[in-house]
């Protein structure tokens, strides 16, 4: 009886080992669609609007930093977009090497209160996000509560993590667009990339090549907005 059980166990083990490569191949094959979807998401660019090439008049209302005489760096942020962490980290790491004077403004998305809604889920207090606090301190950024992303939309920024650089005002008080777009290689990806290199080059030169652009990777500002009607909150 013992020998029969042993032979049966050996037979099962042999069959298992024979089919193990096939099982492994099928398992890896099943992972391919999920991997493709993940890669597609990481490399999907965010939406961008029409960014003004000159910053003057009503467009700059709400940007108190615009009153200065240095270049103006604007970053659109939704506090619920995890992709933006990489954007702020890239800016923090690059900033100590910038030679041109600049001032920074964070446009942080905040939903407008509605009469029949409770506090929207999108109104997560940015003060609770350490990476935003750290970046605000490192870049000495002015923080603007951007209601429904209206100020960002005026500047053509529709995606969290979009960065705009405007030159110092000219003799007529007009700023010129120097850079627009993203400063990461993909969604939530840190490391060398064309966007941060182009921005850094602009902040280390005399802004001789205006209008440079790089793709932005992040969540749509409006897409993360969500309000819950009273009585439906959980």
Residue 139 lies in a domain: yes
Identify whether residues 9 and 69 lie together within a single domain. Answer: no
Q: How many residues does the chain have?
A: 234
Section 58-82 average pLDDT: 80
Residue 77 lies in a domain: yes
Residue 78 lies in a domain: yes
Percentage of the chain lying above the pLDDT 90 cut: 41
Domain of residue 167 covers 54-214
Identify whether residues 77 and 153 lie together within a single domain. Answer: yes
pTM for this prediction: 0.75
Query: pLDDT tens-digit profile of 175-217?
Result: 899 999 999 998 888 989 999 999 999 998 766 566 899 999 9
Identify whether residues 169 and 133 lie together within a single domain. Answer: yes
Q: CA–CA separation, 4 vs 175, rounded Å?
A: 88
Q: How far is CA 159 from CA 16, 44, 64, 202, 234, in A?
A: 51, 12, 22, 22, 28
Identify whether residues 146 and 109 lie together within a single domain. Answer: yes
Residue 233 lies in a domain: no
Identify whether residues 5 and 31 lie together within a single domain. Answer: yes
Query: pLDDT tens-digit profile of 13-64?
Result: 555 566 556 655 555 555 455 444 444 445 577 787 888 888 876 566 667 6
CB count, 10 Å around CB of 7? 10
Residue 47 lies in a domain: no
Residues 125, 90 contacting (CB under 8 angstroms): no
Number of structural domains the chain divides into:
2
């Amino acid at each position: 009886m013992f020998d029969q059980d042993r032979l049966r166990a050996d037979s099962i083990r042999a069959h298992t080992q024979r089919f193990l490569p096939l099982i492994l191949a099928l398992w890896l094959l099943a992972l391919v669609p999920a991997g493709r979807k993940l890669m597609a998401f990481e490399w999907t660019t965010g939406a961008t609007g029409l960014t003004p090439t000159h910053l003057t008049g009503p467009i700059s209302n709400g940007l108190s930093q615009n009153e200065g005489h240095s270049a103006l760096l604007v970053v659109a942020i939704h506090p619920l977009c995890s992709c933006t962490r990489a954007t702020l980290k890239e800016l923090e790491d690059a900033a100590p090497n910038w030679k041109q004077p600049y001032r920074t403004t964070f446009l942080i998305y905040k939903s407008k209160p509605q009469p029949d809604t409770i506090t929207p889920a999108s109104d997560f207090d940015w003060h609770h996000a350490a990476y935003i606090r750290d970046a605000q301190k490192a870049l000495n950024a002015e923080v603007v509560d951007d209601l429904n992303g209206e100020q960002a939309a005026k500047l053509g920024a529709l995606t969290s993590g979009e960065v705009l650089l405007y030159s110092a005002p000219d003799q007529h008080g007009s700023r010129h667009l120097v850079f627009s777009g993203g400063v990461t290689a993909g969604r939530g990806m840190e490391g060398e990339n064309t966007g941060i290199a182009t921005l850094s080059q602009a902040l280390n030169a005399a802004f001789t090549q205006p209008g440079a652009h790089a793709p932005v990777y992040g969540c749509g500002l409006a897409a993360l907005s969500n309000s819950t009607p009273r009585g439906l909150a959980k």
